[in-house]
Structure 1
Amino acid sequence: MNGRKLWAVRACFLVAFISLSGCAGGESVTSLDGDKEDESESTDGDSLHEDGDVILDGDAESHGDNDDSSDGDEAEICECQEGPCCKDGCHFDGTDVQCEENVEMEYGCPEGMGCGSSVMARSKSRNCSGASSACDGELGDWSDWALAQECGEHEVCVSGETECQENRPACDPAWCEAGSGSCCDDETNTLRGPEWICEAETEIEYGCPDGTGCGQDVKFRTKDRHCSGFETDCQGNLGAWSNWKLFEDCMPDQQCDSDAASCHDHQFHDEIRCVGLERYYYNECNVQEEYVDTCIDADPCSVDGCEQGVCGNESYTCNGHGVCNLENDYCTCSPEYTGPFCDSCAVGYYEYPVGSGICIDNPCLPDPCNGHGICGNSTGVAICNCEDPFGGLWCNECMADAFGTFPYCYVSPSGFCETNPCFPIPPTGQEKCYLAHDPWTETTCSGTPGEELCGSIEGCGQDAQFTPPEREFVCQDAGGDFPCADRATPAVGEVVLDTLTGMMWQRTIVEDKTWQQAIDYCEILAYAGHSDWRLPTIHEFRSITHYGLDTEPTINLEAFPGTAPLGFWSSTSDISNSAQAWNIGFYFGSTENWNEKTVPLFARCVRAGINHETSGNGGSSSGIRYSLTGPDDSLVVDAVTNLMWQRSYGYGKNWGNALKYCEQLELGGYDDWRVPNVNELASLVDYAISNLASGFPGGLGSAIENVWSSNSVSNQYLPGYALVVQFSMGNVLQSEKTELCYAKCVRDLD
C-alpha cells in the first residue's frame, strides 16, 4: 500500500462505485480480492484499493512493474460528502456552526404588559454536532428579545401570544359599558365629556335682572348638570347659569317681585308732568292719567315753556335769527332761517354741525369727514361715507376691524396674524434690576425712568422700572375657575385663560410630535368643551414666556405646570426653508430656533384670543401699519401696538450705554424715550419676511444682527447677559452686556 493514507468511503458508495464504474481503456475490472485482471493502464486516474477504500488522488496502486512508482505523498480520507454540516464536501462542520435557525420560538412581554406595550420574540437555533454531516447538534442559547409587533394604545402584550390583544376597557379611560348610565355613549362605548348635558334645568332661579321698577318682568334662569367625563352616571358639575328668560310679563303699573316670582301691583299717586307744552297727571309707574292744561298763552312774543310740570312764559328774541312781529304773532326771520320762532333752516340751507342750530347753505363745507371720507347732503344733512380703515360719524375713528388709534389706523391682510402679533403686548415678568457692569449681579433699581437724571445714572431704564400692563392667568375646568396653585399636576380638560390677550391655552401638553402631527393634533382636538383649537404662532408662544425667572423653565409654573424647557412646535414655518418651522424653548429667558419639521417635539394648543384680521372683504388690507411722522419723518408709529419708534438707531452700544442713550434722547419734541423690553422689540418681527424679519421702514436691515432690549437674562448662570432680537433672522437671543450692539428707542403713543 506504500504507506499511503486512504479516505474512508461509506459501504453503500463503494458498492455503487464497483457496480457502475469500469476501467477506461481496458476490458477487465478490479476484483474485490485485489487481483487486477487488466494489464493495460487506467485512464481515469482512480482505482479501488484492496481493502475497499477509494483512492482519490489519481495515483492507482501499481502491480508488477510499476510497484515502485510511489511518490511518498499520503492521501486524505473524507469524513463526508454532503449534508448541512459537511463543509467542502469532505469534513464535518464544528459545533460553532449554526445549521438551522429559529428551531424554537418564544413570545413574551419583557418590557411589561401594560397598555401600548409591545410583543417581543426570541429564538433558539441548532448547531452542528461536529461528528456528523446531519444537523443534529445541541440547541444554542436564547437570542436577544426583538420586536414582533408594536401594540396600539388600546392593546396589551400577553406572554405566549404572538399578536397584541385588544383590551380597551383597561386601556381606554373613556371606555364604558353600553347601558351603564346616561353619560355613556352606547354606540361608541365612550364616556361623554364634561360638555355633555345629562340633566337639563337641574337648578332654577327666579329674579328681576332688569330691576324692580314699574313694568319690569319676572324672569328665570337655569343650570344644567353635565357629565363628569369619568363616570357613567350623571354626577358632573353644574354648568353656568343660562340667559334670563321670561317667566311673567308685568304690566306698566306693576313691579317685579323676585321673592314671590310674580308681578306686584303698584299704588298710584298724582304728579303733574309736561308733555310738550301740555300738562298731565302721572302715577308713580310713569303712566299718564288725566289732562291738566296747556302752558300756551296769548302773548305772541313770549316763549311758552313747561318744565317739571310748571308753566313758564318768557319774552323771546326769535332765537337770535329774527325779530318778533306783533301784527302776525310770528317772527320775521333772516334769510337762512324760517319758522314761527326762526328755529329751522330755510330752503337751501342746512344745519351744520348737526345740533348747533347754525344754518349754512352747504352742510359739506367745511369738510366734516376730516379728509378720510366723502360727504353727502342729499337729505340736507351731512353724511360721511368713510374710507377704510376709518370709521365713526365724521371719519375720526378707526373702524371696528382695524388696529390702532386715530389717525393711525390699519386693517391687516388675511394671514397677517400668523406671522405678526395680533394682541396687546404682554408683560415680560421681570421685576428685578441688575448691575450694568461686572459682576452684573441683582441690585436695587436706581433712578426714575423719564426724569432728567436717569440718563446719567448707570443701569437706569431697565424693564423692571416700568409699570407692566395688568394681566392674570385664570385656570378653569368644567366646574369653573379654580386657583392655579392648587393643582400642581395638570389634568385633561383644564385650560388657562390669559385675561390680557384673550387667549385660552391647553394646560396639558403632548410630546413626540412632528410639526405636521402637532398641527393635526390641535386642529382635531376636542378639549374642555371647545373644538376650535390650533397650534400657536411663535409670537403667541412668546407671550407666555416669563423672563423674570432665574430657573428653568421660564414660564408661570402655577398656570402651566409640567412644562418642558425645550422644544415646543409653533405653527410658524421658516419662510426661507419650507422644510423647517419655528419652535420655542423656555430656558435662559426664551430661545427661538427652527428645526426640520420631521423632528419630534412637544405641542400645546391655543384657541380664541384678540384677533383683528379682516373678514368678509376678501382679506384685503387698508391703511398703513408703520406711519412716518415727526421732523424729517424721523418717527415711526406702529398702529398694531400703538408704540412710537425712533426710525434710526444708535450704533455700537454696550447694554449700559444703550440704556443711557435712550434715556437722554430728545427727538421729535419728545424726551420720554426708553430701550424697549423684549416683547416690544420682538413685536416688530414679521416671520413672513425672509432675511430681514421686519417691515419696519428703514433703520432695520439684514446687516443688523442684534438690537438691545431692556431685559437682563435672569438665569443664575448668565448674569452678564441681556436679551437681544436678531433682526437678520427674527429670533430672541442672549448677548454679553459688554458686546457692541444696536439701540433703537421707543415710547408709548400719546
Structure 2
Amino acid sequence: MGTVSYDWAAVRVVEAGSYPVVDTDQKTCYDNLGSIPCPGPGEPFYGQDATYPNVETSYTDNGDGTITDNITGLMWVKARGSKVTWDDAVAGASVDRTGGYEDWRMPSIKELYSLFLHSGVNGADYMSTTGFVPFIDTDYFDFKYGSGVGGERVIDCQDWSGTEYVSTTQHDQPTVFGINFADGRSKGYKKFLPPTWTEKNVLYVRYVRGNSEYGKNNFQNNNDGTISDLATGLMWSEYDSSEGLNWEQALAWVQAKNAENYLGYSDWRLPNIKELHSIVDYTRSPEKTSSAAINTDYFKCSTITNEAGQEDYPYFWSGTVLVDGPSREGAYIPFGRAMAYLDNVWQDVHGAGSQKSDVMIGDPANFPEGRGPQGDAVRIYNYVRLVRDI
C-alpha cells in the first residue's frame, strides 16, 4: 500500500470546532549549549521540536489591511497600530473597520499564540536590535521593536490578548496575558504600572475575526491512561512524569517510555511549546480553583512545594528551545504559579499558563533569588507530559 502525503500548506478550510496547532517553525536541533545536527533515535537529545514535522504556517495577504491564516481560519489586522491601555484595546475592537469588517474582537491568548514562531532569536543586548529576529512572520504582519532609548528596551513591545488572568500577580495586581513577539515569551502583564500602580500600562493590540471555536478543546477520556483532544488531533498521557527532570533527561525519559510501549504506544514525544500551550486551561489557577491550569476533569497533575513554601504545580518542559542571545534555554509552561523573587519576596509574577524559558543544566540552588530583571525562579528540573498524534 502506497504512502499517502498531504500538502498541509494548501489547507484552506477549517471545520467548526477544530483547533489546529500550527508548527513552531523551529528547524534547528540543540544540546545544552548550542546547535547540533539533529540526533537519531537512541541518541542524547533525540526527540526535540525540530525532529518532528508539523503543519506549516500558511498566510494570505488580502490586500485590504487583513491577513488570513489558511490553517487556523482566523483573520488578523495586519497593521501594528499604537500602544494602548487595556481598556482602550477592548473598546477599540467594536469600532475597528479594517477591511470593511465589523466583527473584530480581542484575540484570546490561544488565538494570539497561534502566530508565535520559535524561529525567532533574541540578540545579546536588549537596548539594540542587533542579532534579533522577530517571533512572528514579518512578511505578513507589521511589527515594531521598542526604541532602545532611555528606559525602553527593544523587547518592550508586547501585545495584549483578550484573556485576563483569573488570579492576580505581583502584589495583587489585575493581570492580562499577552505575548512578546520580540523575545519569544508569553506572560501576564499588569494593567497598571509600579511603583504607584495607578499609571495604566500600554501595549499593542492586534484584532482578530473568524473561527470563534479556535482554542476550545474537545477532550475524550480513553479510559486507558490517555486523553484525546479531538479538536487538535493530539493524544496526551493522563499522568505526568511525577518527577522533575532536566531537559536532556526529559528527552531521554520519553525515549524510555517508548521503549516500554507505554500505555500501548511507542511514538510518544515531548510536546513542542505550541502543543503544550494548547492544553492550558485559563479558567483555572492555584489561587482561583486550587488546581493547576489544566482541565482536572481529564488530567492528573503532580503537586510541588514552590519557592514561597506554598503547595503548587510544576513547570512543564516542551521540546522547543529559545535562542536567547549567547544562551540556549528550554521553553516551558508553568501550570502553577510563575514564581519570581521580586521586591524581596517570592510571588506569582507572570501567571499560571505563561510561557517562559529556563537554563537546561546546573544547580537551582545557585539561584536563591532567581535570575533576570524580575528574579524569575530557576528550577531546571521540570516535569513532562507525553503527547502523540491520534
Q: TM-score of the superposition, structure 1-length normalised?
A: 0.37
For 2:226, give the aligned amino acid: L
- Cα distance in 2 for partners of 1:471, 1:547 equals 12
- Cα distance in 2 for partners of 1:684, 1:710 equals 15
Match in the other structure for 2:324? 715
8 Å Cα contact 1:580-1:594 kept in structure 2: yes
Alignment of 1:541-690 (within 5 A): 541-550=112-121, 551-564=132-145, 565=155, 566-577=157-168, 579-596=174-191, 598-609=200-211, 611=213, 625-630=219-224, 634-650=225-241, 651-665=243-257, 666-690=261-285
Q: Mark the CA change 1:513 to 1:544 in structure 2 (over 3 Å): closer, same or farther.
A: same
Q: Deviations along 1:172-231, whole A, 9 cap, x unmatched?
A: xxxxxxxxxxxxxxxxxxxxxxxxxxxxxxxxxxxxxxxxxxxxxxxxxxxxxxxxxxxx
Instruction: Tell me, yes or no, if structure 1 residue 748 matches structure 2 residue 389.
Output: yes
Q: Give 1:546 shift.
A: 1.0
Moved more, 596-605 or 723-732: 596-605
Match in the other structure for 2:314? 705
For 1:694, give the aligned amino acid: I
- Cα distance in 2 for partners of 1:510, 1:534 equals 15
Alignment of 1:315-334 (within 5 A): none
How well do the aligned residues superpose, as a CA RMSD in angstroms?
A: 2.3
Q: Deviations along 1:372-409, whole A, 9 cap, x unmatched?
A: xxxxxxxxxxxxxxxxxxxxxxxxxxxx86x5xxxxxx
8 Å Cα contact 1:549-1:715 kept in structure 2: no
Corresponding residue SS for 1:517: helix
- Cα distance in 2 for partners of 1:461, 1:672 equals 10
8 Å Cα contact 2:49-2:320 kept in structure 1: yes
8 Å Cα contact 1:496-1:505 kept in structure 2: yes
Match in the other structure for 1:209? none
Corresponding residue SS for 1:576: strand
Q: Deviations along 1:223-265, whole A, 9 cap, x unmatched?
A: xxxxxxxxxxxxxxxxxxxxxxxxxxxxxxxxxxxxxxxxxxx
Q: Give 1:687 shift.
A: 0.9
Q: Mark the CA change 1:511 to 1:624 in structure 2 (over 3 Å): closer, same or farther.
A: closer
8 Å Cα contact 2:166-2:282 kept in structure 1: yes
8 Å Cα contact 1:583-1:595 kept in structure 2: no
For 1:712, give the aligned amino acid: V
Match in the other structure for 2:8? none
Q: Mark the CA change 1:503 to 1:673 in structure 2 (over 3 Å): closer, same or farther.
A: same
8 Å Cα contact 1:547-1:590 kept in structure 2: no
For 1:735, give the aligned amino acid: D
8 Å Cα contact 1:664-1:671 kept in structure 2: no
Q: Deviations along 1:423-472, whole A, 9 cap, x unmatched?
A: 2111111010012x3xx11111111xxxxxx1x30111011111111431
8 Å Cα contact 1:701-1:727 kept in structure 2: no
Match in the other structure for 2:354? 731
For 2:27, give the aligned amino acid: E
Instruction: Tell me, yes or no, if structure 1 residue 425 matches structure 2 residue 21.
Output: yes
For 2:325, give the aligned amino acid: Q
Q: Give 1:531 shift.
A: 1.2
Q: Give 1:722 shift.
A: 0.6
- Cα distance in 2 for partners of 1:558, 1:624 equals 33
Corresponding residue SS for 1:741: coil
For 1:744, give the aligned amino acid: R
8 Å Cα contact 1:423-1:610 kept in structure 2: no
User: Greater Rg, structure 1 or structure 2?
Assistant: 1
Q: Mark the CA change 1:444 to 1:500 in structure 2 (over 3 Å): closer, same or farther.
A: same
- Cα distance in 2 for partners of 1:604, 1:612 equals 16
Q: Which ranges of structure 1 fall in alignment gaps of 5 or more residues?
A: 1-399, 404-421, 448-453, 478-492, 615-622
- Cα distance in 2 for partners of 1:707, 1:575 equals 20
For 1:637, give the aligned amino acid: S
Corresponding residue SS for 1:656: helix
Corresponding residue SS for 2:388: strand
Q: Give 1:610 shift.
A: 5.8
Instruction: Tell me, yes or no, if structure 1 residue 517 matches structure 2 residue 88.
Output: yes
- Cα distance in 2 for partners of 1:586, 1:613 equals 19
Corresponding residue SS for 1:653: coil
Match in the other structure for 1:125? none
8 Å Cα contact 2:29-2:35 kept in structure 1: yes
Q: Deviations along 1:270-326, whole A, 9 cap, x unmatched?
A: xxxxxxxxxxxxxxxxxxxxxxxxxxxxxxxxxxxxxxxxxxxxxxxxxxxxxxxxx
For 1:713, give the aligned amino acid: L
Give the ranges of 4+ consecutive aligned residues of structure 1 lying more than 3 Å apart after TM superposition. none
Q: Mark the CA change 1:558 to 1:458 in structure 2 (over 3 Å): closer, same or farther.
A: same
Corresponding residue SS for 2:235: strand
Number of aligned positions between the proteins: 294
Q: TM-score of the superposition, structure 2-length normalised?
A: 0.70
- Cα distance in 2 for partners of 1:495, 1:690 equals 35
Match of 1:535 among 103, 106, 113: 106
Q: Which ranges of structure 2 fall in alignment gaps of 5 or more residues?
A: 1-14, 122-131, 146-154, 193-199, 287-291, 304-311, 337-351, 362-379
Q: Give 1:609 shift.
A: 2.7
Q: Mark the CA change 1:668 to 1:741 in structure 2 (over 3 Å): closer, same or farther.
A: same
For 1:687, give the aligned amino acid: Y
Corresponding residue SS for 2:166: coil
- Cα distance in 2 for partners of 1:570, 1:430 equals 24
Q: Give 1:624 shift.
A: 6.7
Match in the other structure for 1:126? none
8 Å Cα contact 2:167-2:174 kept in structure 1: no
Q: Give 1:559 shift.
A: 1.3
Q: Give 1:603 shift.
A: 1.3
Match in the other structure for 1:694? 294
Q: Mark the CA change 1:470 to 1:547 in structure 2 (over 3 Å): closer, same or farther.
A: closer
8 Å Cα contact 2:175-2:190 kept in structure 1: yes
More strand by share: 1
- Cα distance in 2 for partners of 1:612, 1:428 equals 17
Q: Give 1:701 shift.
A: 5.3
Instruction: Tell me, yes or no, if structure 1 residue 508 matches structure 2 residue 79.
Output: yes
Alignment of 1:297-308 (within 5 A): none
For 1:745, give the aligned amino acid: L
Larger relative contact order, structure 1 or 2 (CA cutoff 8 Å, min sep 6): 2
- Cα distance in 1 for partners of 2:184, 2:87 equals 27
More helix by share: 2
Q: Mark the CA change 1:573 to 1:509 in structure 2 (over 3 Å): closer, same or farther.
A: same
8 Å Cα contact 2:159-2:204 kept in structure 1: yes
- Cα distance in 2 for partners of 1:727, 1:626 equals 20
Q: Give 1:589 shift.
A: 2.1
Match in the other structure for 1:240? none
8 Å Cα contact 2:219-2:227 kept in structure 1: no
8 Å Cα contact 1:553-1:563 kept in structure 2: no
Q: Give 1:529 shift.
A: 1.7
Q: Give 1:637 shift.
A: 1.6
For 1:502, give the aligned amino acid: G
8 Å Cα contact 2:25-2:56 kept in structure 1: no
